[in-house]
Amino acid sequence: MYKIAQELTKDEILKLYTKGFTKPEDFSIGLEYERLPISKCSFKAIDYWSDNGIKNLLEDFAKEETWDYITDSKNLIGLKYKHDTITLEPGSQVEISAKPERTIFELKDKIDYLNSVMMPLLEKRGIALLEYGVSPYSTHKSINLIPKKRYKIMAKYLWGILSDVMMRETAGIQCCIDFSSEEDAMRKFKLANKLTPFMTAMFANSPIRGGVDTGYKSFRALSWLNTDNDRCGFAGKISEEFSFEDYIEYVLNTPMIFIKRDDLNFEVNGNITFSEYMKSGWDGTKPTIDDYELQANLCFPEVRMRNFIEIRNHDCVGGDLKYAILAIYKGIFYSSSAMTECENLLKSLQYKDFSEIRYNVPKNTLQTPVKKGKVLDYAKEIISIAEQSLKSQGSGEERFLDAIKQYTFDSMTPADVILKNWHGAWNRNMKKLIKYLSDF
């Protein structure tokens, strides 16, 4: 059917990760920042195609800032300028992916500028981009997929009972960090996985969905628990012996969704793993390095390995809270002593403990039991370790931790504040929730 490609080897795959080695003095930090577009009048999710929809918003932004189009079969699905992108998630969620910078201050300046350009375009259309983890009013049944081929295939394939919620309704914050060697990468990767349930709890911000209190403080996190256990959750057992090869094996042993050749997609629908594809091919095709990269991108673990480490497990949050996420990770991962402190903090917990915490935090967040204590006890320690580290780094970035300290040290999450108002002063009024999320 297609010309047989040169045999793909694990050594070739390994280079995708080793090319990320960076000198510690050149370490930077990256942010991917998704928001939910909703109508200020109806509170419904904004559609891609409508006159005041997301497609036309992107077109106007491109004219304003002379950004280039990103297309899929001639359909506009995002914009790019140098190393910055504005792209769309399946339900038209708007994601800014900023080029990694040396400091959080530089990232904040970039986000502030892009938001300032976007604001009058949003105002003209009556759109609010909510810094919130799940669609507060519209549910997936009324949210259309954007015209990106892979999303249609994914929506049909993903088998979890909340996979449609994850794809069409949710928005998150992702942090990207560098590593200097395989040893450094694996140390950070393992620790990042162990920190994820505590970070999910601290930054929980999605209790109201479809206009009702869901009973969960992070419905976004719940949706990921019910999307596809083959490709979500922890990438492996995060054991002490974990390596690049172990991560590659995780990707290889995950069922394949589809294969891309030129502008065509061939659905595999989980019938083989990538490892089996490497051995036997599929319908006349043989694996290429591009196929592996696609397969790796269609794995959605809490922490994903690239030529950097991508930590993916946070609800979208407002104001400086999103920078607090970055500050915690920068404080911990760019200091060997801070990593040691965190490793010691968590050393009594086993894989089954982290898995259990992960399943409980969407509902109980900081009050989730951990051994003889609670997630709250660990969260306070994590913040304190990051704060002392940032102070010693001398960049002044510890100020970004103030936003989360105001919540955590009062035993609160962003979701708790919303719920208190929802059942109190707001009297379950959607307009007041939207105003709060828009003004944050």
Over residues 120-163, the pLDDT tens digits come to 999 999 999 999 999 999 999 999 999 999 999 999 999 999 99
Retrieve residue 340's tokens: 């040691």
What's the burial of 215, exposed, middle or buried (CB within 10 Å: 0-12/13-18/19+)?
exposed
User: Which amino acid is located at 93 in the chain?
Assistant: Q
Is 3 a residue whose pLDDT tops 60?
A: no
Work out whether the CA dihedral 400, 404, 406, 409 comes out positive or negative.
negative
Tokens at 281, concatenated: 């091919």
Residue 255 three-state SS:
strand
Output phi, psi for 32, to 5 deg.
-120, 130
% of the chain residues with pLDDT over 90: 95
Domain 10-439 maps to which CATH number in 3.40.50.12160, 3.30.590.20, 3.40.50.720, 3.40.50.1450?
A: 3.30.590.20
DSSP sequence for 53-107: SHHHHHHHHHHHHTPEEEEETTEEEEEEETTEEEEE-TTS-EEEEEEEESSHHHH
Q: What is the pLDDT of residues 304-360, one digit of tens each?
A: 999 999 999 999 999 999 999 999 999 999 999 999 999 999 999 999 999 999 999
What pairing do the DSSP bridges indicate for beta strands 232-233 and 300-301? Answer: parallel
**In contact, 35 and 130? CB cutoff 8 Å:** yes
Amino acid in position 307: N
